[in-house]
Structure 1
Amino acid sequence: MNRLRPLFFLLPLLLSGCKVTKPVRPMESYEDPFEEQVSVINLPIDIPVDELQALLNQQLYGTLYEDNNLRDGDKMMVRAVKQGDIEIGIDSQSITYSVPLDLWIRYDLGISTAEATGQITLDFKTGFDIGADWEIRTQTAVAGYEWQQKPRVKMGFIDLPVGFIADLVLRNSKWRIATAIDDVVREQFNLRKTVEEAWKEMFNPILVSEDYNTWLTVNPQFIGMSPVQMGNNRIQATIYVETRPSVKIGQRPDPAFPRPLPPLRISEVEGLDFTLHLNTKVSYDEAERIAKQELIGESFSYGRRSVTIEDLEFFGQGNNIVINTTLSGTYNGSIYLLGTPVYNTLSNKLEIKNITYTLDTKNFLFRSAGWLMKSTIKNKIAENVNFLLDYNLKDLQEQFQEQLREYEVATGVILNGALEAVDIRNAYLTADGMMVDLALKGNLDVRIRGLSSAQD
């Protein structure tokens, strides 16, 4: 025991020679992230029947049927010309069409011919369904006819076969009219093409704010549709998209590889509003870039001592953010501050609360540079870090609202929306940035540009 006693006398001398010159850098560590929530975007589609009617009248006009041969067995020449607008009606299962026609008839009497005119309305009905491949399939059939004015001979009295004439006109014009109706529906409502184009687009990042390098990626997981509803002179349905959207503030994220369009699933949709959960990312690089604009070069004095901020670095330790501040001047080196991201329910802002020096930094400053603790440097950093997050999150709602005006999600398909609120649900740190779970609430409306301009 006596042999060890000299060592105890030497130990204080050895320790006094080990002078600490700078605080120890905190160790990086990160908690498990919150589980991402699936968001559902409802896209209501509303097609006024009068717009469909205008489009069909553009497609069908003039002579719809003409027979110029008296010697083909029916003893007649017939010309059927569209007389007025086609009228469309709907019921719960199908679309009906009334096609008014002016008729000109030349009838073979054997020794001479006679001309007659008349007016007839042909009625058609279109049934449709949507396959698992998102293709609209229609089938238009004749529903009947009604004479508005039976054929009358211009000269003399001749008993014309009125029923035969009606059947002849119907039989020979129904193919063209029914085909035209099916073509209009197929071309103007190419559902698969529209949905597939929108589906692929949702895998590409969208620049929401150029000023703050804010990118939205929708990341669709599934897409389906509600049953089609027809009534009150409108055709309505809702397309719903299950998504895991994310927002990144920083460099443009790489596009995700688009998955194939899933088979159509028809199911009821509850409500038309949406709540979109956005896993918003503020990269440390981007946070540092913006904070440096405000803080680099800032000097702080206390008496005859002063320091200047030369650099900033952000990283995580658990659920706290570490702010590594490099100083030059009376003190040269780093000091480390800790803060906790907290959601303020009253202001609806994300704030960095309880910013303080790390324990090792505090001990170092007490021993070597206590005057720094009396300066305003900590408060200045805290103000600018809060401003960074507050301003971006506050501005995000305005940027998203701007994107929801006249946004073309697919060729000719225009999206408009109203963003009612932005709530912050969770905040946590990852190895490369600060993550915030935002909940955006609002509603959307979809219109088809080509259809809506049919009457222009």
Structure 2
Amino acid sequence: MEEYEELYRDQVSIINIPVDVPVRDLEAVLNKQLSGILYEDNNLRDGDKMMVRAVKQDDILLGLDSQAITYRIPLDLWIKYDLGISTVEANGQISLDFKTGFGVNTDWSIFTTTTLEGHQWQQKPRVKMGFVDLPVGFIADIVLRNSTRQISKAIDDLVREQFDLRKTVEEAWREMFQPALVSEEYNTWLTVNPQYIGMSPVSTERGRIATTIYVEGKPSVKIGERPDPKYIQPLPPLRISPVEAEDFTLHINAEISYDEAERLAKTQLVGETFSYGRRSVTIQDLEFFGKGSNIVVNTTLSGTYNGSIYLVGRPVFNPKKNTIDIEDLEYTLDTKNYLFRSAGWLMKSTIKNKIAENLNFLLDYNMKDMQAQFQEQLQDYELATGVVLNGNLEALDLRNAYLTVDGMVVDLALTGNVNVRVKGLNK
């Protein structure tokens, strides 16, 4: 009879994912996007008596200042000024100093505020016609008032466009609910099952904008058919809190379904013939199920004996080998009593030992290969466009084993570290 004990429980795991954005990458994008004419006024009759064209003169250089990005934008100016009786043209050079403060809203969207911190003339525009000087102060006010508003908006729009944090996080959040095939050989599927996601305060140091995203989840691994994705919960509001460490320990419930166990065992055992004297039997089929904390193997035989025999054993964790062993695999009492009366010779054959060997092989799946598969998944894994995850898996250990209605659940513990780099930014 099948029966199961609810002995295992999910454990919440926390994955810490450091994220950094090199300022030089942001600088390259800013220079690419902000090029050529940054401000232009072609109307001589709009009240200021001037036409102005401001062209970026050289590369923008970025710096970091607390929770802000600082930069200087050098501009070449062309000016046409209406003197009343005639117009004059002049050229000049000015550098504008900006600061962009930034933060993250509770809906994971980035907000920025760009302000003009100051300006410096490299070459003042000056034209003399008799005793008339070009009014440099007036020109500076017009250029600053108009170009600053236009350039600041362009910078804020650019940062929000390049750093669509909500889109990136939401894409990664939804992906964590989808089973990912991490081992074709063992037909192994990993689902992170996130429960919450947050981040640490943003820091700006050593030429990088850095934070750590942390995910609280209940990861699971299933060996067998691809599991159905769980209900995708909406992206939770942002919670900002400090992160103490950058490594992780994942507690994963790895499920080996009875169907998969049977499939693998059958490839080794079905068709095997066992002889004792002139008597012999051939294994025709295998079925696994649980009884309390034990696993039952229903073996269908044909030959001198036609029918089923039942063996029962206890799955235990072997810390020395990092494996699951089936201890004390024996015929059930009913099977033993029946064979004593009608087929005692079968108990003297090697069939029980052969089944035990293959059950150990089945449950002792190659941990080194599985660790290599996980490690491969942690190399240059693109979470979203331009957002790449890399990591190192230091250990993968078995902690315990339980039986459920669907199969055997193994408590796996993975330790290691990961980091995310935003490279190339959005195109």
Normalised by the length of structure 2, the TM-score is 0.94
State the distance in 2 between where 1:398 and 1:385 align.
23
> Does 2:302 align with 1:325?
no
1:46 maps to 20
Give the conservation status (yes or no) of the 8 Å contact 2:290–2:404. Answer: yes
2: CA distance, partners of 1:98 / 1:46: 23
**What per-residue deviation string (whole Å, max 9, x for no partner) do you get for residues 193-226 of structure 1?**
2212222222222222233322222111111111
- Is residue 144 of structure 1 aligned with residue 118 of structure 2? yes
Distance 1:370 1:158 in 2: 124
**How far apart are the structure 1 equivalents of 2:246 and 2:299?**
48
User: Is 1:343 matched with 2:317?
Assistant: yes
Question: Given the alignment of the two structures, is residue 397 of structure 1 paired with residue 335 of structure 2, yes or no?
Answer: no
Counterpart AA for 1:248: K
Give the CA deviation at 1:111: 4.6
Deviation string, structure 1 residues 82-120 (Cα, Å, up to 9, x no partner): 001111111222111211111222344455444332221
Matched, 1:407 2:384: no
Superposed CA deviations along residues 411-440 of structure 1, whole A, max 9, x for unmatched, are 443322222211111101012200001111
Report what 1:252 is aligned to.
226
CA RMSD after TM alignment: 2.1
Pick from 268, 273, 279: which aligns with 2:247?
273
- Residue matched to 1:264: 238
Shift of the alpha carbon at 1:391?
2.3
Number of the residue aligned with 2:140:
166
From 94, 97, 102, give the equivalent of 1:128: 102
Tell me, yes or no, if the aligned pair for 1:117 and 1:153 is still in contact at 8 Å: no
Opposite residue 144 of structure 2, the aligned amino acid is: L
Contact 2:71–2:97, Cα closer than 8 Å, also in 1: yes
Letter of the 1:292 counterpart: K
SS at match of 1:438: strand
Q: 1:188 aligns with which of 132, 157, 162?
A: 162
Where does residue 418 of structure 2 map in the other structure?
444
Match of 2:191 among 196, 214, 217: 217
Range that drifts further, 339-348 or 68-77: 68-77
CA distance 1:427–1:114, change in 2 (3 Å): same
The offset of 1:449, in angstroms, is: 4.8
Distance 2:86 2:175 in 1: 68
Q: What residue in structure 1 maps to residue 5 of structure 2?
A: 31
Instruction: Report the Cα distance in structure 2 between the residues aligned to 1:73 and 1:307, rounded to whole angstroms.
Output: 105
Q: What code does the residue aligned with 2:412 have? A: L
Q: Among the aligned pairs, what percent are the same residue?
A: 72
Alpha-carbon distance in 1 for matches of 2:308, 2:128 = 107
Structure 1 stretches of 5 or more lacking a match? 1-26
Native 8 Å contact 1:188 1:450 kept in 2: no
Stretch deviating more after TM superposition (326-335 or 426-435):
326-335
Residues 69 and 372 of structure 1, relative CA distance in 2, 3 Å threshold = same
Gaps of 5+ in 2: none
1:105 to 2:79 alignment: yes
TM-score normalised to structure 1 length:
0.88
Counterpart for residue 304 of structure 1: 278
Task: Tell me which amino acid in the other structure corresponds to 1:429.
Answer: L
The answer to whether the 8 A contact 2:22-2:209 is kept is: yes
Matched AA of 2:388: I
